[in-house]
Amino acid sequence: MSVQLASAYVLHQRPYRETSALLEVFAEEYGRVGLVARGVRSAKSKQRGELQALRPLRLSWLSRGELGTLTGVESDGRSERLQGAALYSAFYLNELLMRLLARQDPHPTLYRLYRDSLQRLAQETDVEPVLRVFEKRLLEELGYGLLLDHEVQTGAALDAAAYYDYQLESGPVPVVDAQAAGFVFRGSSLLALADERLDTPQVRQDAKRLIRSALNLYLGNKPLKSRELFRVPKK
């Protein structure tokens, strides 16, 4: 199959043989794709400077089985200016996609969310709401969406003033109070996350606690390298 000028981002790159590289890219219409970029690490390569993570690109390739061969690279607009926590967050998004997406499984809606999230990271001073919304919608896109507006056992709408034990592989079950055993959240936090209203410290704390635990079900025991970047002491 020959693909011409598909909108894509490079998620990861590693050396291959003497002058080539193995790329993992996220393409709007093709999903995660593995590509061999032949000769791209040579001093004479014109593609070397273009194939950078977080840069919008138009890629062409020939696909034969598991790995395709890169045949063309063009810029697809300006790159977002990311630094500090915004840059670390962008690499975190890349690692989530690398770990959770299967190859050749198209996710055009998720691609647009990724592109928009990079723009938001570049523009907004607080990265937390951007990350939580991306994580929440990523789980939904993969078929692992969180039940956030009604009880799993009865189907009753959640009460903002009540407390719920959130069972990760099913959903919220009502409990008497916040001190009950289990993975407990106030209904107001679950409802706010459902509406993506992350406007209070308590809602943000609860959203992070719930979504990270849900992600860990599918990420397995291997920790995310990008999360370590947030633990680097500031100088």
In a domain, 55, yes or no: yes
- Round to whole Å and give the CA distance between 211 and 162: 20
Question: Residue-wise pLDDT tens for the chain (235 aa)?
Answer: 899 999 999 999 999 988 999 999 999 999 999 999 998 888 778 777 789 999 999 999 998 888 999 999 999 988 999 999 999 999 999 999 999 999 999 999 999 999 999 999 999 999 999 999 999 999 999 999 999 999 999 999 999 999 999 999 999 999 987 787 789 999 999 999 999 999 999 999 999 999 999 999 999 877 787 776 655 444 4
**Both tokens assigned to 184:** 């407990």
For residue 109, is it within any domain? no
Q: Domain containing 22 — which CATH number? A: 2.40.50.140
In a domain, residue 64? The reply is yes
Q: Supply the range of the domain harboring residue 29.
A: 2-75
pLDDT reported for residue 65: 80
Considering the domain boundaries, does residue 47 fall inside one?
A: yes
Residue with tokens 């959130």: 166
- Identify whether 227 is part of a domain: no
Kindly state whether residue 207 falls inside one of the protein's structural domains.
no
DSSP-H helix ranges across 82-186: 85-100, 108-123, 128-141
Predicted TM-score (pTM) of the model is 0.91
The whole-number pLDDT of residue 234 equals: 45
Is 13 a member of any domain? yes
User: Distance between CA 141 and CA 86 in Å, rounded?
Assistant: 23
Count up the domains in the chain and report the number: 1
Q: Specify if 37 maps to a domain.
A: yes
Give the E-state strand segments of the chain in sequence order.
Answer: 2-16, 20-27, 31-37, 57-64, 67-75, 163-167, 171-175, 184-186
Measured between alpha carbons, how far is 170 from 151 in angstroms, rounded to an integer? 10
What's the confidence (pLDDT) of residue 141? Answer: 96
